[in-house]
Amino acid sequence: MAEAKGMNLSLKIWRQAGPQAPGSFLEHQAKGVTPDMSFLEMLDVVNEELIRSGKQPVEFDHDCREGICGACSMVINGNPHGPQQATTTCQLHMRHFKDGDAIVIEPFRARAFPIVKDLVVDRSAFDRIQGAGGYISANTGAAQDANAILVGKKESDRAFASATCIGCGACVAACKNASAALFVSAKLSHLALLPQGQVEREERVVNMVAQMDAERFGACTNTGACSASCPVEISLENIARMNRDYAKASLKRR
């Protein structure tokens, strides 16, 4: 039986030599792509061919390639992480494309995510926002009994769902205003819903929202594009909770 030749794809990839350099889309060919390849494995094949030809490979972020870390951030045909819902780029497989397809690949676009090179952006603004959240107050010493701090099932489920945010930035890339409200609200909610997060709750929301604004993210206008593009499907209810907490904390400070 003859071996399958695989798919041939036409790629338009954003190429930019550095933060201050002009960028543009360049065409690249991906040949012999198999349906079981992940999107990043397909780019690996393209880069191997570029290197053999003496050309610069395409720079892109990746780490675990298991859909956990969120490093594989790129916009594929206008969709952060690609066309499959609740899927990171590294877990997007080429079976969702067909032979002869044209695919446009570009970095996450946001003023707060400056381009480093090609498809790589600097997302350290997220780190600074989390740093602004500070710490929680907790008693030290021997571990408490498992039932010493009672947490309701609904609250624990919501806290866990919020904590699954991987901080990839797809919400920012999907938002027409480049808002980071979904990310920030998820990081606030997973502590706001638990007893351990109550002592610094008001200070935390004020500081993290202030840092979000300082990083020049846009305002949230509740279009829902952020949640729809989120690879772990973070709920919009987190944004509502953040807004309520911020309003209460601001009124108290006045």
User: Residue 246's pLDDT band (boundaries 50, 70, 90)?
Assistant: very high
Query: Locate tokens 């945010």: which residue?
Result: 165
Determine contact, residues 116/66, Cβ cutoff 8 Å.
Answer: no
Query: Locate tokens 């499959």: which residue?
Result: 84
User: Which whole number is the average pLDDT over 167-192?
Assistant: 97
- Tell me the pLDDT tens digit for each residue of 67-122: 999 999 999 999 999 999 999 999 999 999 999 999 999 999 999 999 999 999 99
- What is the share, in percent, of the chain residues with pLDDT greater than 70? 98
With a CB cutoff of 8 Å and minimum separation 6, the contacts of 176 are 218, 221, 223, 225
Would you list the DSSP string of 61-95?
A: --S--SSSS-----EETTEET-SSTT--GGG-BGG
Rounded to whole angstroms, the Cα distance separating 54 from 151 reads: 59
Q: What angle, 0 to 180 degrees and rounded to 10, lies between the N-to-C axes of helices 124-132 and 181-192?
A: 30
User: Residue 234's pLDDT band (boundaries 50, 70, 90)?
Assistant: very high
User: Which whole number is the average pLDDT over 215-233?
Assistant: 97
Rounded to whole angstroms, the Cα distance separating 146 from 135 reads: 22
Please report the domains of the chain, with CATH numbers, ordered by start residue: 7-106 (3.10.20.30), 124-137+150-253 (1.10.1060.10)
Q: Find the Cα–Cα–Cα–Cα dihedral 107, 108, 114, 117, rounded to 10°.
A: -20
- What is the share, in percent, of the chain residues with pLDDT greater than 90? 89
Amino acid code (one letter) for 109: R
User: Residue 2's pLDDT band (boundaries 50, 70, 90)?
Assistant: very low
Query: How much is the pLDDT for 4?
Result: 52
Furthest-apart CA pair in the chain: how many Å?
77
Query: Rounded mean pLDDT of the chain?
Result: 94
Query: Locate tokens 């305002």: which residue?
Result: 219
CA Rg, the chain, in Å? 21
User: Residue 1's pLDDT band (boundaries 50, 70, 90)?
Assistant: very low
For 31, the token pair is 């040949």
User: Residue 183's pLDDT band (boundaries 50, 70, 90)?
Assistant: very high
Rounded to whole angstroms, the Cα distance separating 139 from 142 reads: 9
- Tell me the pLDDT tens digit for each residue of 118-162: 999 999 999 999 999 999 887 777 877 877 778 889 999 999 999
With a CB cutoff of 8 Å and minimum separation 6, the contacts of 206 are 246, 249, 250, 253
